[in-house]
Amino acid sequence: MLLATEYEQVIQIKMSRSPEVKPPYCVSAYLVDGLLIDSGLAHTAEELTDFLKDKEVKTVVNTHYHEDHVAANALLLERYRVELLAHPLAIDKINQPATLYPYQEEVWGYPIPSQVKEIGNSITTPHFRFEVIHTPGHCDDHICLFEKSKGWLFSGDLFVATRPKVVRPEENQWQVIASLKKVKDLMPRVLFPAPGSRTVTDPVPVLEETIRYLEDLGQEVTELSNKGLSPDEIRQQVFGDEAPLAELTQQQFSSLNLVKSYLKRE
């Protein structure tokens, strides 16, 4: 299922296997001036490729290697000979077969390996110039794209919510905080996130609130850890029982992961 909406010169393409296209099981790609930012999930790869038939896409940038951001790459390359670009740390992961958990296979599907190349410091399209900002934390290879003249920030999975309660095991929240500060300092005017469904106008206060929440949470987790509490005990004290999403995702999205993501610093 695919839903396209337009904001300024940017087309948001929201995709989901289910007809409801609702978070957390939907993801957005963005099309602007012949540049496609992310290519979505395997279950909608054909639909997305058909949708882009007359859109003259020249370049596809993957914000990171996750299976819900790269899965139409191979088809877009085959059909439209697009250039595929991602951060150097993402190349091997995107170009080789992925290993997925059952929930990932069901919700997103297996991406076909593609032939992504290393992205440089910027991307130029006929009307715009996008700065490439390395923003690790969600994963090592994560990048955002920033179009300065418009104030557009394409933030991939860096920003999910102002008060996230669950994360994947590979996340490092200290890096997420540093990356959020980096993009906030660019003073974006509009934020186009991949997860969920909303375009965020006037995102600086939203980013500030998120940074504050994550820093406070990090301090609380660190203090409890210093007192000798285990990650499970900290999770219970801070969040209570584990989030229902944890069981649905084979513990890949959990509050325990969020606690552990703060204990990676030392």
Residue 140 beta carbon to Zn ion: minimum distance, rounded to whole angstroms: 12
Q: Which is nearer to Zn ion, 66 or 260 (CB)?
A: 66
Quote the least distance from Cβ 134 to Zn ion, whole Å: 15
Site for Zn ion in 48-87 (CB under 5 A): 66
Q: Minimum CB separation from Zn ion for residue 160, in Å? A: 9
Nearer to Zn ion, 183 or 234 (CB): 183
> Cβ of residue 139: shortest distance to Zn ion, in angstroms?
6
At 11, is the secondary structure helix, strand, or coil? strand
Joined tokens for residue 132: 């490439």
- Residues 3 and 13: their CA atoms lie apart, in Å, by 6
Q: What are phi and psi of 13, to 5 degrees?
A: -115, 105
Binding flags for Zn ion, 224-253, as an x/- string (CB under 5 A): ------------------------------
What is the nearest approach in angstroms of Zn ion to the Cβ of residue 28? Answer: 12
- DSSP per residue, 105-172: HHHT-PPPP---EE--SEEE-SS-EEEEEE--SSSTT-EEEEETTTTEEEEETS---SS---B-TT--
Angstrom CA distances, 140 to 36, 44, 86, stand at 21, 26, 12
Instruction: Please state at what angle helix 203-226 crosses helix 255-262, rounded to 10 degrees.
Output: 80
Contact between 19 and 66 (Cβ < 8 Å):
no
Using CA atoms, how far apart are residues 68 and 145, in angstroms rounded to an integer? Answer: 18
As a whole number of angstroms, the distance between CA 2 and CA 21 comes to 8
Q: Based on CB atoms, which residue is closest to Zn ion, 138 or 235?
A: 138
Size of the site for Zn ion (CB under 5 A): 2
Question: Contact, 201 vs 28, CB < 8 A?
Answer: no
* CB-nearer residue toward Zn ion: 87 or 224: 87
Per CB under 5 A, does 93 bind Zn ion? Answer: no
47/140 with CB nearer Zn ion: 140
The residue among 209, 231, 221 whose CA lies nearest residue 163 is 209
Output phi, psi for 181, to 5 deg.
-65, -40
66 versus 93: smaller Cβ distance to Zn ion = 66
Query: Cβ closer to Zn ion: 87 or 128?
Result: 87
Nearer to Zn ion, 33 or 157 (CB): 157
Q: How far is the CB of 61 from Zn ion (least distance, A)?
A: 14
Which x/- pattern, by CB under 5 A, does the window 125-164 give for Zn ion? --------------------------------x-------
CB of 27 to Zn ion, least distance (A): 9
In whole angstroms, the minimum distance from the beta carbon of 9 to Zn ion comes to: 25
Task: Take residue 174 and report the two structure tokens written for it.
Answer: 């200290």
| Footprint of Zn ion (CB under 5 A) | 66, 157
